[in-house]
Every structure is written in structure tokens, then in C-alpha cells.
């Protein structure tokens, strides 16, 4: 692993223009379960029943129940992996993070360019008048929560069956086409269109480096190499190696 960490650091310095695509594994060490690992969200909640936009329209209280369980409202904090990516941005290498996560932890860690591919659960939006609310400021005692206009509030996250927000989509593909190295961290890379982003980067000539405790469908096909390990361990090591090479 040490050799690959040094290689990743050298590749980052050579590339100069780095993008990252992150998934739920990025926040696992912050205590937020992933979706598809054992004990993940989709073991407890059938996504068709709890995370499809059609369910939201017929039974909005169900997705809201899952949001309550997500419990990111107050507890989760950025882990050393998030902080390492913030440092990689401040060192001038990481231009943007495209995240599938809705937990706001990259933003909390200090990254300024975060593309929210699947929205952000810190916000809710009224389906009637379009007013936005901070989730922390609305009561979840009675579900679904409602707007002051009495419209139903929807978590500002992308549900299955919903399109990706247009601007996030445009910026992500632009980043994929223009980066020289893409870090793909903590994603099973099975949900599209997010999973196509490393493929676009690869086709445009970028080096693709995965950080994940286990291989993914990208491994050996799209990614140039994978560093097997947890984001909270591997990413600080990479950033340390980058700094060592710079002095």
C-alpha cells in the first residue's frame, strides 16, 4: 500500500488538476452507514418503497421516516478523509469534489467546490411554493413536515426516478472532461449516471485512482489502480506524501 500511496502522490503532483468523485464510503468513518454494505441503508429500507419519487408522492411520510433515521441532522462530523480532501484543495491540487453524498460533510470539512450530484439532505424544499428550509430548523415530529403555505416539504435530495439537478450534471461532466486525475472514493460505482463520471474522465485521458476497501466494477477496467483501504486512513496518507514530495 505504501508504494501505491507514493505513486498516487506523485500522480497528483504531476496532474495538478484533480477532481474527486465520492460516495457513501467516504462518510462511513463519520458513523453514517453506506447503502449496500452489510448493515447498510438498503438492508433496512427497500429503496423502491422508501427512496422512489413515486413513493414520495403517494406516501411522503415514508421517505421522511428514513431521513429521520439518517440522523445526520446534528451528529455526524467530517472524518480525517474529508479533512484530507479539504487540505488537498488548499494545496491547490483538488479543483472540485463531485459527491453522491447528501450529508454536507465535505462542505463542513472546508472544501469550497462541492458539486452535489444527489442534492443535500440539510435542505428541504416546498413542493407547492418552492421555498427552501434548513432541515435542522424544521420539526420532524409530524411527518411529512409542511411549509408555512401548507405545501408538503421534500428533502432536497435526488430520489430514484428523479433527474440529476441540471447544473450539478453539467459541472460534473465538465470536471470529468477537464481533470487530469480523478480520485474515486468510497463508491460502489453501480448507480448511474454518477458511475459514468470516472468513465468520462478516463476517456478524456485522466488517470483514475480508486480508494476503497474492496474492488468495484471500475477496478481493472476504468481505474488505473485501486488503493485498498478506508478513506479516513488512505487519504491523509496520500496528502502527507504529497506534502513530503513538495518540500
Cβ(208)–Cβ(191) below 8 Å: no
Q: How far is the CB of 229 from ligand OAD (least distance, A)?
A: 7
- Cβ closest to ligand OAD, residue 147 vs residue 212: 212
- Per the residue annotation, which of 52, 82, 106, 118 is the catalytic one? 118
Burial of 101 (0-12, 13-18, 19+ CB in 10 A): buried
Is 106 a known active-site residue?
no
Residues that bind ligand OAD (CB under 6 A): 23-25, 28-29, 34-37, 40, 47, 51, 100, 118, 158, 160, 186-188, 191, 212-214, 216, 230-231
Output DSSP code: residue 61.
H
Q: Between residues 147 and 183, which has the closer beta carbon with respect to ligand OAD?
A: 183
Chain residue whose CB lies nearest ligand OAD: 25
| Sign of the torsion formed by the C-alpha atoms of 70, 72, 74 and 75 | positive
Q: Which residues pair with 176 in a beta bridge?
A: none
In whole angstroms, the minimum distance from the beta carbon of 98 to ligand OAD comes to 11
What values do phi and psi take at 131, rounded to 5?
A: -70, 140
Closer residue to ligand OAD, CB minimum distance, 147 or 208: 208
Residue with cell 477496478: 219
Give the separation between CA 162 and CA 175, rounded to whole angstroms.
Answer: 22
Shortest Å, Cβ 85 to ligand OAD? 12
Instruction: Please identify, using beta-carbon distances, which residue of 45 and 93 lies nearer to ligand OAD.
Output: 45
Q: Say what the alpha-carbon torsion angle 131, 136, 140, 146 is, to the nearest 10 degrees.
A: -10
239 SS3 class: helix
Q: Give catalytic residues, as residue numbers.
A: 118
Amino acid at each position: 500500500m505504501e508504494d501505491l500511496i507514493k505513486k498516487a502522490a506523485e500522480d497528483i503532483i504531476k496532474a495538478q488538476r484533480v477532481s474527486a468523485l465520492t460516495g457513501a464510503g467516504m462518510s462511513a468513518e463519520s458513523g453514517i452507514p453506506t447503502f449496500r454494505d452489510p448493515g447498510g441503508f438498503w438492508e433496512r429500507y427497500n429503496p423502491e418503497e422508501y427512496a422512489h419519487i413515486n413513493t414520495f408522492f403517494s406516501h411522503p411520510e415514508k421517505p421522511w421516516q428514513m431521513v429521520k433515521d439518517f440522523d445526520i441532522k446534528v451528529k455526524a462530523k467530517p472524518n480525517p478523509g474529508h479533512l484530507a480532501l479539504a487540505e488537498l484543495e488548499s494545496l491547490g491540487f483538488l479543483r472540485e469534489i463531485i459527491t453522491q453524498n447528501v450529508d454536507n460533510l465535505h462542505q463542513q470539512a472546508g472544501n469550497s467546490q462541492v458539486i452535489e450530484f444527489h442534492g443535500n439532505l440539510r435542505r428541504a424544499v416546498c413542493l407547492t411554493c418552492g421555498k427552501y428550509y434548513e432541515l435542522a430548523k424544521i420539526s420532524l415530529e409530524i411527518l411529512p413536515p409542511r411549509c408555512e403555505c401548507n405545501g408538503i416539504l421534500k428533502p432536497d435530495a435526488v430520489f430514484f426516478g428523479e433527474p440529476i439537478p441540471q447544473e450539478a450534471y453539467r459541472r460534473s461532466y465538465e470536471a470529468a472532461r477537464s481533470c487530469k486525475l480523478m480520485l474515486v472514493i468510497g463508491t460502489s460505482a453501480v448507480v448511474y449516471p454518477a458511475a459514468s463520471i470516472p468513465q468520462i474522465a478516463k476517456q478524456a485521458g485522466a488517470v483514475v485512482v480508486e480508494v476503497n476497501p474492496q474492488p468495484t466494477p471500475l477496478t481493472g477496467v476504468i481505474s488505473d489502480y485501486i488503493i485498498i483501504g478506508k478513506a479516513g486512513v488512505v487519504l491523509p496518507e496520500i496528502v502527507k506524501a504529497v506534502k513530503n514530495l513538495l518540500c
